[in-house]
Amino acid sequence: MIRLIGYFFGIGTTLALLAAAGVALYIGHVAKDLPDYEVLAKYEPPVTTRIHASDGALMAEYARERRLYLPIQAIPDRVKAAFLSAEDKNFYSHPGVDITGLARAVMTYVSGGPMQGGSTITQQVAKNFLLTNERSLERKVKEAILSFRIEQAYSKDRILELYLNEIFFGFNAYGVAGAALTYFDKSVNELTVAEAAYLASLPKGPANYNPFKHADRAIERRNWVIGQMVENGYVTPEEGAKAKAEPLGVAPRRTGSYLFAGEYFTEEVRRQIIARYGENALYEGGLSIRTTLDPKVQLIARKAMQNGLMKYDTLRGYRGPVKTIDVSGDWGVPLGAVKGLEDVPEWSLAVVLDSSASGLSIGLQPARQASGDIVKERVEGTVSKEDMGFAMRHVVDGKTVKARSPADVLKPGDVIFVQKNDGSDNAYSLRQVPEVAGGLIAMDPHTGRVLAMVGGFSYSQSEFNRATQAMRQPGSSFKPIVYSAALDNGYTPASVIMDGPITIQSGNTTWTPKNYDGTVAGPATLRSGIEKSRNLMTVRLANDMGMKLVVEYAERFGVYDHLAPYLPMALGSGETTVMRMVSAYSIMANGGKSIKPTLIDRIQDRYGKTVFKQDERGCEGCNAPEWKNQPEPELVDNSEQVLDPMTAYQITSMMEGVVQRGTGATIGELGRHIAGKTGTTNDEKDAWFIGYTPNLVVGLYMGYDTPRGLGHGATGGGLAAPIFKDFMRVALDGTPNVDFKVPDGMNLIAINRKTGMRASSGDPGTIIEAFKPGTGPADSYWVIGMGADGSNASGGALSPQANQAIQDGGGGLY
């Protein structure tokens, strides 16, 4: 018997050894193909890029996977406790694999059942980072082997850190920090026990616990996690009971742009980042981008531009509803499907329910729940006849028709835009998206930092950025470039030019420019020419000094890359952008130094290292280790001097005259030291104004995207200047009224405003003019252009561009 037992024991031992050898061989075979777990040391997951305003306010986020990487030290204990309770309560004690759970999974699989989970956090790290989601025994074995190796190579905290930053939570959120923002619009430090428990319940299956589609199931799973936290001693029974009683409280974070007035600016930054670093860096690189945008200035700019566009547009009548829907049933559903203007939050979409002689009864577009579903409650309001007064002139088949009653303009089912009246519960005013468009830039002239950018009325309506992308004729706002070139090359503000008829002959082409008002003033000073925006004087001046010089300065100022050297170009016939024009005026405002417009102050990578800094000024001594009575360090400005500082002051002084008594006189009502110039293009297609104080340059234009006349008499002084004025009134409020600095050595001499000659004490029509050393008022009366034939200085055939400018440029530039 003993011999038989020994025999069977020997066979059993042999079989066990063979089985062990087989398992060892199998494990050895599987282990040969395992991925390198050391890649975890270099883990760099896709991380959200964030764009901030100059004050740190969040403007936008870009990500393929919404993730913010957090080191384990930055994750609160209650959040870690929630995940440990939900996923792996023995995490800090096991060797990487739960032996009991693994054995149970293997036995179930061997007996014909499905491959079960039961993975530890370490196993999930191995699977998520290094393996596939295949449900097989081989993958499970690989997972276990890798888990043992990971546990030997990394600390428990590092493994938990990898897990909490990698897992998927649904709604494109990855990692616990991204999930906290996505579900609760909070940082992880602000999460309650209930909120942390809900997030911890999601990795098992985000779709199964969707807070909107499966709320009951989500609460049940969350409460189970809370119960585990109590059982494991992380929270007290009282805290657990309180947490279970709370609703889910999910409040999704909005995506895209967060600063509603800065969408055009944000999109411009996005394009620049892609051009500089590529799309992957933007959507996966976790960049932190600090921009130049000033949110307060941006809001002021947006409001001024929108009000100006609306004021012009409403005078042209009402063009009809957005669309028409069926209101015989529940009008909220079809109205909810109409797209509004997300970046004009003051406006709401509404549908006309009834129209009569006294006004309209309207239904407001229903709000949407966090799930995206339309709320069932319906809100109604009214629009009185007085609050839709501009619509009494409505456009029908391209013609403006006068209406007697609101019922003649709108009917039930018409979808319209409305704005709630101040101080009223249910009274609204009719609104209309302007057909006319425009762009505005506000810039710091000393650094080129763009403080505000308005690319149109609404980014939701049109993403085309008219401040940076629209190529438009600047008209007479280009004239200060011409006058700067003259002042820099021997002319003075008191030089006298003939304001009289002139004909330019070039080959078989004849061009006879005119002043905007069709009149001539005879001999006048350069100052008078720019204050009154005289075309004939500008053409004579450009002809006298040569267009090659004008071209040189236009390109030096960055207005154009290449400008054709033909006289019509002196009147702003070449196309450019608002950004370029504002940059050019910044040179005149800052004393003649070249500036490079910038939207970005600094870019940091995911680790906080600065990879780009716009300010390239040097500073010797700024990093001195200690104070030894050395001189205070100074920033070294290495900007190129492209215009004589004295010339810059002269042209500034002349443009102050534009504001005080010229085409921009409406701005003079602000009582501020402001220099600027109006611009009106041929056939009144565009209206411009660009102006500045010593520390702020603002430029804008108004015009249709497909250029057409704005109407007879529509000038830069009448349309664009009031927008500039409205902006400056608010933007400069509370700031000192700083005067422009007179350069050292400049001579201020009293002259006769008309003749440009030295004035005697008490003479009428006297002004103080600025002259460079060695120059002054003329001793004898001399008029530039007297008797000039106006021949084409450049000679030769004209280009098609110049030919078009000559044919269209007879008048209208103002």
Positions marked active-site: 87, 476
H helices present in 237-329, as ranges: 237-244, 263-277, 279-284, 295-314
E strand spans, 31-156: 49-52, 58-62
Angle between helices 175-184 and 156-166 (to 10 degrees): 40
Placement of tokens 């600095």 in the chain = 741
Q: Which H helix or E strand runs over 395? A: strand 393-396
Q: ∠ CA(705), CA(315), CA(461), 5° rounding?
A: 40
Q: Is 688 helix (H, G, I), strand (E, B) or coil?
A: strand
User: Rounded to 10 degrees, what is the CA torsion of 179, 184, 185, 186?
Assistant: -80
Specify whether the CB–CB gap between 437 and 705 falls below 8 A: yes
Strand, coil or helix: what is 318? strand
CA dist., res. 169 & res. 209, Å (int):
10
Q: Please, which residues bridge with residue 30 across strands?
A: none
8 Å CB contact between 617 and 482: no
Q: How many CA atoms lie within 13 A of 401 on its CB side?
A: 13
Q: Which of 349, 362, 353, 361 is nearest to 327 (CA)?
A: 353
Cα–Cα dist 625/623, whole Å: 6
Instruction: Return the number of other C-beta atoms located less than 10 Å from residue 368's C-beta.
Output: 11
**The two three-digit tokens of residue 183, written as one number:** 């579900």
Dihedral angle of Cα 551, 552, 555, 560, to the nearest 10 degrees: 10
- Distant-in-sequence, close-in-space partners of 287: CB < 8 Å, separation ≥ 6: 49, 50, 273, 277, 281, 603, 604, 605, 606
CA 660 to chain centre: 34
